[in-house]
Amino acid sequence: MAVEAAVSRYLAAGHIDEVPDDLAEPHLNVIAPEVRETRCRVVETATRLWRSAGDDPARLAALRGFVEAGEGPPDVIEGVETLLMRLLAGSRQRLAPTEIDWAIDELGLRDPQNPILTADERRQIDERGYVNLGPLIEADHLEAIRHRMDDAIAAEGDQSGREVSQMHGIGRLSGTVIKSMNRDGLLDVFFSHPRLLAVVRHILGTSFKYSSTNYHCPLPGYGHQNVHADFGWGADTPENVNAIWLIDDFTEDNGPTRVVPGSHRWAEHPSGSRVDGAPRDLNASVPGEQRVLGKAGSCFVYNAHLWHSGTQNRSSKLRRAQHAFFTRAHRPTQMDVLAALDAVTHARFDRLQRAILDLPAP
Ligand SMILES: O=C(O)CCC(=O)C(=O)O
């Protein structure tokens, strides 16, 4: 199919030679039943162990007890241990906790009832698990961002997104705000907008940090994902927050995100969930799911335990978005920040930005 020049610059990054003739033809992620069953058992078990305790030392003790008991298939035991140990191996906070504490005061976020969010926004976050903060980026800024992203995708080509994940049919970039592409601060808004940080504070409390920023652009005909949450198993207390900055309008047909309102409260991960005893079909729609539509420049923020996924872009255009991912200050980050950090960009960050990024002064 003939595509616009803007789309053709994304083909290498999306690992495709051309966009399909039929943009509605499904491209599902098929997982072999035995792999899916093992995965389901791993995630179910991790969820049970995590929820059996209220803090990390007790979770670690529960994990050790489970491993020592050795009950269950070895691949399940090993899978659970690998999954949980990534978080339970000790604090990964670089800065003294007083730095994020200082930032919280600077941002006016100390009081949980601070005026940066409305009471209704807080209610939406609590009850539905997400809020659309509306357009926060001006049109000319947004246009400059589009050019920056398109150029970076063309420059990184089939290497783009490698630091976190690459996806067939989706143009991805990792660590956008800490790389050289952000030397002039054009992209700072993605991780430091005060309204976004107010949502992060509302969900995670006052001790949090940047985990990664992933640019995510489903190409025409692609973009469907398995329903998932942005945390590896079910948890009854929030660990992560994600934001989706809409760089293009999200419409019914260009692959808007699907979300399952209220699912952040289920303390269950789709991969560890069963329907009539069988592992859930992650490609299928979930009862109650909704699509997130909105204007370019809007910031949609969600509790990362919310069930959600990308959907197929059935339009002939790009659907550009930027994710900004946050975690608790002592947790590991999704991306190795120091490995990707550009020295010039680092030197430009001020104390407040470094506190959010958990970065020492250069
Ligand atoms: O950008 C989207 O629509 C959602 C993408 C997503 O959930 C993911 O990449 O994990």
Residue of the CA atom closest to atom 5 of ligand 1: 310
Atom of ligand 1 nearest to the CA of 172: 9
* Coil vs helix vs strand at 324: strand
**Closest among 81, 75, 92, 94 to 37, alpha carbons compared:** 75
Vertex 23: Cα angle to 20 and 27 (nearest 5): 80
DSSP lists the bridge partners of residue 302 as: 130, 242
Helix, coil or strand: residue 33: helix
- Mean pLDDT per segment of 10 residues, for the chain of length 362 residues? 83 96 94 97 98 98 98 96 97 98 98 98 98 98 98 97 96 98 98 98 98 98 98 98 98 98 98 98 98 98 98 97 98 97 98 98 96
Of 167, 216, 241, best ligand 1 pocket probe by most atoms within 8 Å of the beta carbon: 216
Superfamily of domain covering 95-357 = q2cbj1_9rhob like domain (2.60.120.620)
What pLDDT does 5 receive?
Answer: 83
Which strand ranges, in their side-by-side order, compose the sheet holding 208-218? 130-135, 298-303, 240-246, 321-328, 208-218, 170-174
Give the other-Cβ count within 10 Å of 197's Cβ.
25
Q: What is the pLDDT, as a whole number, of residue 4?
A: 77
Would you list the domain boundaries of the chain?
24-90, 95-357
DSSP 122-184: HHHHHHTSEEEEEE-S-HHHHHHHHHHHHHHHHHHGGGTTTTT--BTTEEEEE-GGGSGGGTT
Which of 246, 314, 323 has the most ligand 1 atoms within 8 A of CB, as the residue to mutate? 323
